[in-house]
Structure 1
Amino acid sequence: MEQLISCVIIDDEPLGLELIEKYIKRIPSLRLVAKWDNAIEALDQMERLRPMLVFLDVNMPEMSGIEFIRTFNHYKPQIILTTAYSEYAVQGYEYDVTDFILKPVTFERFARAINKVKERLSNAQKSVAMQQAGETTAPAAEQPEAPPVQVPGMQQNRQLLIKENKKFINISIDDIYVVEGMKDYLKIHTKARVIVTHMTMGKMEDTLPPTDFLRINRSYIVRKAAVKAINGNTIELLNNVELPIGIKYREIIKHLMDKGSL
């Protein structure tokens, strides 16, 4: 049976709130538990309700959506930001939001965002299961993070040894096109499948050759050859996925573009 996802809506625009509520009703796995037209009212109820997903407008009086996100401490739900202004996308992604949707929101775009939520929740559950499995086999002190290892004698093939679940697997660097960060875990998107491994973005960034890969924000490393276009502060990949360029990475990317290295 598909997991039921509890969600709330916070939007000061009545039409925007009604539209999201209408879309929620069209997806059986979503359950709306509350809705508010301002973020301050929502603050008092969030800890009690603890929804798994928050549909959050960015531009609101008294407290903006970004300010609302900053109030989260230990409890961090999946967040889908909605706004009519694309310039807020980068700021939102720096708070690790699940998705950012420009208004007016279409159902097709809404459905794609929900698929991202489901994928993240599924990966989080797998990560917890992996951690619990590790704790039962050895003390935490004996479970160091396993960095990717360049396989001796195979440098010409550019291979990495990656720990997946309880085994090590060999993957080709040339098969990797996107690395997505999820706290202490990574999703490595390859030509064949997605691999989840326990590792930090920093370690992966240090491991991948900078001639081929580029860190574009806190959560993503992309293969340069997979970049289709750069539109302002957004990178479009060959599969038409658009990702924001983080503020601290913009100058680096601009420099690479000026040199013709991207």
Structure 2
Amino acid sequence: MEAKITCVILDDEPLGQELLKKYVSRLDFLELAAVYENAIEALGKISALRPDVIFLDVNMPEMNGIEFMNTFSSNYKPYVIMTTAYSEYAVQGFEYDVADFLLKPVTFDRFVKAIHKVQEKMRYKNPVSASINPAVTTDPNKQFLLVKENKKFMNIALEAIICVEGMKDYLKIHTLGKSVVTHMTMTKIEELLTRDFLRVNRSYIVRKSAIKAIHGNTIELSNNTEIPVGTRYRDSIREIMESGTL
């Protein structure tokens, strides 16, 4: 299981806190470490928690978000996602190299984009750990797929996927530990998956490295599932086998 991205919410408005808490709970790879409504209260505690991400409100009493960022030590620089109802703070915020700036009221899709920016920064800051929290993009080198099951979003490691089963407008993604059902078409997921995945019939896409054996026109996967190869896909699979790239 991939490491989670820990985060802290610092916002003096209860409604702002609750909205961000709800959004964090929807993303399976995020872990909420704490919520604070006062920057003074959060000072020592955040340095002890050392979260990966801080959702930081700008306009707060006693100490505002900009002043709060000035307290960070040189050996701890969290990714800051600023939140405010006042767009004029955006320029000042980006001068501090914040990960993103969210204008209230924050929508969920905009929240997800901000998290993706953090993941991208993590990947380039620490390439050795890129497999932990890389960005979810159509990059062929990506390591995770962001999908929605019921009302919750989750990151699935591509290397954990054994195969994808099409069920009309839904997909069942079979992984090493469980299966996830999501509303998506086979065409769409083909666009999102990397070259390590191969369409073998109308209803199945398999991970090449999960193929254990090929018996005639049947593929046996690492979980012992046997999948027939569709007629229109046999030539491409034969070419891959002959080229030794399977």
* TM-score normalised according to structure 2 size: 0.51
Q: What residue is the counterpart of 2:122 in the other structure? A: 121
Code of the aligned partner of 2:84 = T
Pairing of 1:1-262 with structure 2 (within 5 A): 1-74=1-74, 75-126=76-127
In the aligned structure 2, how far is the partner of 1:106 from the partner of 1:100?
A: 12
SS at match of 2:68: helix
Code of the aligned partner of 2:44 = D
In the aligned structure 1, how far is the partner of 2:128 from the partner of 2:30?
A: 23
SS at match of 1:3: coil
Aligned identity (percent) is 60
Higher mean alpha-carbon deviation, 118-127 vs 63-72, is at 118-127
Change in Cα spacing, 1:63 to 1:29, as seen in structure 2 (3 Å) is same
Deviations 1:43-92 (A, max 9, x none): 02011100000000000000000000011122110000000011100000
SS at match of 1:100: strand
Higher mean alpha-carbon deviation, 120-129 vs 104-113, is at 120-129
Deviations 1:22-51 (A, max 9, x none): 000000110001110011100020111000
Structure 1 residue runs of 4 or more that deviate by more than 2 Å after TM superposition: none
SS at match of 1:101: strand
**Runs of 5+ unmatched residues, structure 1:** 130-191, 195-262
In the aligned structure 1, how far is the partner of 2:58 from the partner of 2:22?
A: 20
Task: Identify the structure with the greater helix proportion.
Answer: 1
Deviation, structure 1 residue 127? 7.4
**Runs of 5+ unmatched residues, structure 2:** 131-138, 142-246
User: Looking at CA atoms only, which structure, 1 or 2, has the larger radius of gyration?
Assistant: 2
In the aligned structure 2, how far is the partner of 1:64 from the partner of 1:102?
A: 16
Q: Which has the higher contact order (CA 8 A, sep 6+)?
A: 2
In the aligned structure 1, how far is the partner of 2:129 from the partner of 2:28?
A: 26
Change in Cα spacing, 1:127 to 1:89, as seen in structure 2 (3 Å) is farther
Deviation, structure 1 residue 124? 1.0
Q: What residue is the counterpart of 1:258 in the other structure? A: none
Deviation, structure 1 residue 126? 1.4
In the aligned structure 1, how far is the partner of 2:19 from the partner of 2:109?
A: 13
Deviations 1:80-115 (A, max 9, x none): 000001110000000000000000000000000000
Q: How many residues align?
A: 132
Change in Cα spacing, 1:67 to 1:193, as seen in structure 2 (3 Å) is farther
Code of the aligned partner of 2:123 = S
Indicate if the aligned counterparts of 2:57 and 2:65 stay in contact, CA closer than 8 A.
yes
